[in-house]
């Protein structure tokens, strides 16, 4: 009895590998975008609680400076 080696189809292996790699890249991109979106949404209320207040004060200070410069 002879033991035969399985036929290796190199082009098929290359195409399959490229397809798996492409799917992995797309999947990684989707996960990264999802992570960044969730992070940004959670950062606003929990990390930067007073960010809006600081922004408002900064704008008011800039307006006061402009008014003082004009006078």
Q: Is 3 helix (H, G, I), strand (E, B) or coil?
A: coil
Residue 17: inside a domain, yes or no? Answer: no
- How many domains does the chain divide into? 1
**What is the residue range of 64's domain?**
24-70
User: Mind listing the pLDDT tens digit of every residue in the chain (71 residues)?
Assistant: 677 767 878 889 999 999 999 999 999 999 999 999 998 888 777 766 677 778 788 889 999 998 888 77
Report field, pTM of the whole predicted structure over 0.85 = no
Residue 19: inside a domain, yes or no? Answer: no
User: For residues 7 and 10, what is the distance between their CA atoms, to the nearest angstrom?
Assistant: 9
pLDDT (0 to 100) of residue 70: 78
Residue 11: inside a domain, yes or no? Answer: no
pLDDT (0 to 100) of residue 49: 66
Contact 15/22 with Cβ under 8 angstroms? no
Residue 41: inside a domain, yes or no? Answer: yes
Residue 64: inside a domain, yes or no? Answer: yes
């Amino acid at each position: 009895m002879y033991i035969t080696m399985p036929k290796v189809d190199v082009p098929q292996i290359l195409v399959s590998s490229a397809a798996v790699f492409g799917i992995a890249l797309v999947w990684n991109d989707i996960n990264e975008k999802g992570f960044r979106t969730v992070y940004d949404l959670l950062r606003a209320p929990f990390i930067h609680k007073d960010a809006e207040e600081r922004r408002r004060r900064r704008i008011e200070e800039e307006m006061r400076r402009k008014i003082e410069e004009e006078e």
